[in-house]
């Protein structure tokens, strides 16, 4: 849909431009390059605006629910996958590549899920699978009860190293 709207927009600009039907001598190459670059910038702005509009329409603020994943260090846990269930329904799962894990360890944050969640209490369970200390298989979960209001809700799943226990910690932070 976005692509077709972009093509329609480009066609409309071409048709409505003052030089579209003129038989004048073409502008110098530099002027044409500038015009093409300006047109590309306008299309990128339109694409961004369409994306924002689409998100607002699909995920209204009163039901919007977003889940993020972050890692701190990650020396005690090598992440393989994450599964997230809300009210026993799978809403997100991701299998990580080595490159994605390194990006998370450098401070990156991944948006795992964006969706709609009705107002009320909901149980969210996140399962983390990977290799723990001493290269052992590791599967842990974190659970939180979410009280969804009419405001958007943001949840952060955190994987941190607990140096005192020599174990990874898995926690859930609800952003108000």
Question: Is the pLDDT confidence value at 51 over 70?
Answer: yes
Euclidean distance between CA atoms 17 and 63, whole angstroms = 42
- 10 band by pLDDT with thresholds 50, 70 and 90: low
- Give the other-Cβ count within 10 Å of 58's Cβ: 11
Sorted by where each begins, the domain ranges of the chain are 2-58, 64-175
pLDDT tens per residue across span 133-151:
888 898 999 999 999 888 8
Euclidean distance between CA atoms 150 and 12, whole angstroms = 40
Mean pLDDT of 5-10: 54
Identify which of 94, 139, 87 has the alpha carbon closest to the alpha carbon of residue 113: 94
- Give the other-Cβ count within 10 Å of 138's Cβ: 19
Question: pTM, whole model, 2 decimals?
Answer: 0.64
Of 7-16, 58-67, 99-108, the range with the lowest mean pLDDT is 7-16
- 12 band by pLDDT with thresholds 50, 70 and 90: low
pLDDT at position 61, please? Answer: 64
Out of 3.30.420, 3.90.930, 2.60.40, 2.20.28, the CATH code matching 64-175 is: 2.60.40
**Cα torsion angle, 41, 55, 176, 155, sign:** negative
Euclidean distance between CA atoms 118 and 91, whole angstroms = 14
pLDDT at position 121, please? Answer: 93
pLDDT at position 25, please? Answer: 46
pLDDT at position 110, please? Answer: 94
Share of the chain above pLDDT 70, in %: 78
Altogether, the residues listed in the chain come to a count of 176
Q: SS3 helix, strand, coil % of the chain, rounded to 5?
A: 30, 45, 25
What's the whole-number average pLDDT of the chain?
82
């Amino acid at each position: 849909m976005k692509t077709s709207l972009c093509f329609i927009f480009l066609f409309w600009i071409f048709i409505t431009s003052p030089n579209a039907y003129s038989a004048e001598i073409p502008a110098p190459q530099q002027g044409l390059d500038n015009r093409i670059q300006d047109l590309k910038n306008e299309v990128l702005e339109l694409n961004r605006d369409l994306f924002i509009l689409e998100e607002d329409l699909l995920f209204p603020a009163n039901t919007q629910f977003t889940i993020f994943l972050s890692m701190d260090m990650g020396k005690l846990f090598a992440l393989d996958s994450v599964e997230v269930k809300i009210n026993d329904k799978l809403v997100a799962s991701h299998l990580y590549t080595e490159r994605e894990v390194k990006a998370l360890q450098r401070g990156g944050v991944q948006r795992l899920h964006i969706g709609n969640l009705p107002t009320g209490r909901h149980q969210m369970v996140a399962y983390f699978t990977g290799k723990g200390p001493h290269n052992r298989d590791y599967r842990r979960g974190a659970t939180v009860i979410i009280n969804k209001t009419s405001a958007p809700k943001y949840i952060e799943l955190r994987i941190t190293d607990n140096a005192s226990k020599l174990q990874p910690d898995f926690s859930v932070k609800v952003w108000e």
